[in-house]
Structure 1
Amino acid sequence: MRLFAAVVPPGGVLGELAGVVAELRALPGSGELRWPVRASWHFTVAFYGEVDEERVSALWERLERAAARRDGFSLRIDGGGRFGDRVLWAGVAGERDALKRLAGSAAAAGRRVGLDMEERAYKPHLTLARQGRDGRVSLGPYADRLKRFHSAPWTVAELRLLRSHLPRAAHEQPRYETVAAWPLRASR
């Protein structure tokens, strides 16, 4: 099964973000972009790819331990940007170092169970839109509008393991299912 570890903002924060996304979707050219549904919004902390059944329970145990060793921490969705004209994303502010440490622990869990983990710097972001097939929409105006967005802060209190169900047809979107969630230690 295709798995990744993630932090999911609470419903109220996602509601705030949904408000700005509605404004973005009113901009010219927005119909050319693919907009993931609100239920799929998350910050990936480690991507595992296809994980065979024999390794899932070992990964589960490692992630449970990783979560138990990390204190809860404060984040807020803050601004945004783009990866060229391919992806529009929302950024994060607050205790970014704590998020990076959680990402490091989640990646280490994958390596310890024998998964081939990508070695690159962690850049936390929440994907809001992807370029359509033609790739003709400039994401600059969208990113500029996002720069002014700042959500309310929230305390990250859990780490989730999500399963990705890939679309079967071009017009469909991936669907994410929570396989497990582990609480972080209570904040001091």
Structure 2
Amino acid sequence: MADHGDTLRTFIALPLPAEWIALLEEIIDELDSAASGGVRWVRPSGIHLTLKFLAATDADLTPRIMDRLLESMDGALAPALSLSGLGTFPNRNNPRVIWAGVSGDLETLANLQQRVETLAVGLGWAAERRPFRPHLTIGRVRDRISPAERRRLVAAISNCAVPRLASWRPDAARLYKSELTPRGAIYTNLGEVQI
């Protein structure tokens, strides 16, 4: 852990099962051939389902966050989730973020997210203004992508079939540290709580 007074960039998320990571790696490889370097892909091992992005966090606060996370997961149910296609933010024709969708027991997932939101607000973070839209970010489109590359990428996303996998029930929530580097973000697990 960092020394007293250090600030960390943190978030709380659900780690993915190996089967999902392997499939997302295949999808990224397929889309990368159409992107021609116009997308910064997330390392498959770093893909996760974010419940709350905390951003700047005093390193000394991490034990308290973990204590509250443990309390917030007490009695929580694990939703049955499945992968469900690809999408983009803000829209299909002007993608900035490429994501894999999540379907299944979204009400139970929203309950987990709300528990995490409540703990964050209780520790002084601002409440999220946007509604929770569960997704797995797999890539970010670079500013310098040409219109032709963008069209190829949009077509590849539209044509990419996401195979149906067995549903997955997350068994843990983690507090992650995120370090931004020129080669992409590096995520470090600071602690885990069972669901």
The bucket for the TM-score relative to the shorter chain is 0.7 to 0.9
Question: Which residue does the alignment assign to 1:49?
Answer: 55
Question: Which residue does the alignment assign to 1:181?
Answer: 192
Gaps of 5+ in 1: none
Question: Which residue does the alignment assign to 1:164?
Answer: 178
More strand by share: 2
Instruction: Name the CA distance, whole Å, in 1 between partners of 2:23 and 2:162.
Output: 13
Q: Equivalent residue of 2:40, what SS?
A: coil
Normalization by structure 2: what TM-score? 0.85
Deviation at 1:148, TM superposition (A): 4.2
Normalization by structure 1: what TM-score? 0.88
Deviation at 1:45, TM superposition (A): 0.6
Q: Which moved more, 1:10-19 or 1:156-165?
A: 10-19
- Regions of 4+ moved over 4 Å: none
Deviation at 1:147, TM superposition (A): 5.2
Deviation at 1:80, TM superposition (A): 1.5
Residues 129 and 142 of structure 1, relative CA distance in 2, 3 Å threshold: farther
Instruction: Name the CA distance, whole Å, in 2 between partners of 1:75 and 1:161.
Output: 20
Matched, 1:141 2:155: yes
Residue identity matched to 2:194: P
Question: Which residue does the alignment assign to 2:20?
Answer: 13
Which of 59, 64, 67 aligns to 1:58? It is 64
Q: Which moved more, 1:43-52 or 1:149-158?
A: 149-158
CA RMSD, 1 decimal: 1.7
Is this contact kept in 2: 1:81–1:146, CA < 8 A?
Answer: no
Q: Which moved more, 1:37-46 or 1:52-61?
A: 52-61
Deviation at 1:55, TM superposition (A): 2.7
Q: Equivalent residue of 1:154, what SS?
A: coil
Matched, 1:114 2:114: no
Residue identity matched to 1:92: V
Residues 25 and 151 of structure 1, relative CA distance in 2, 3 Å threshold: farther
Deviation at 1:116, TM superposition (A): 2.3
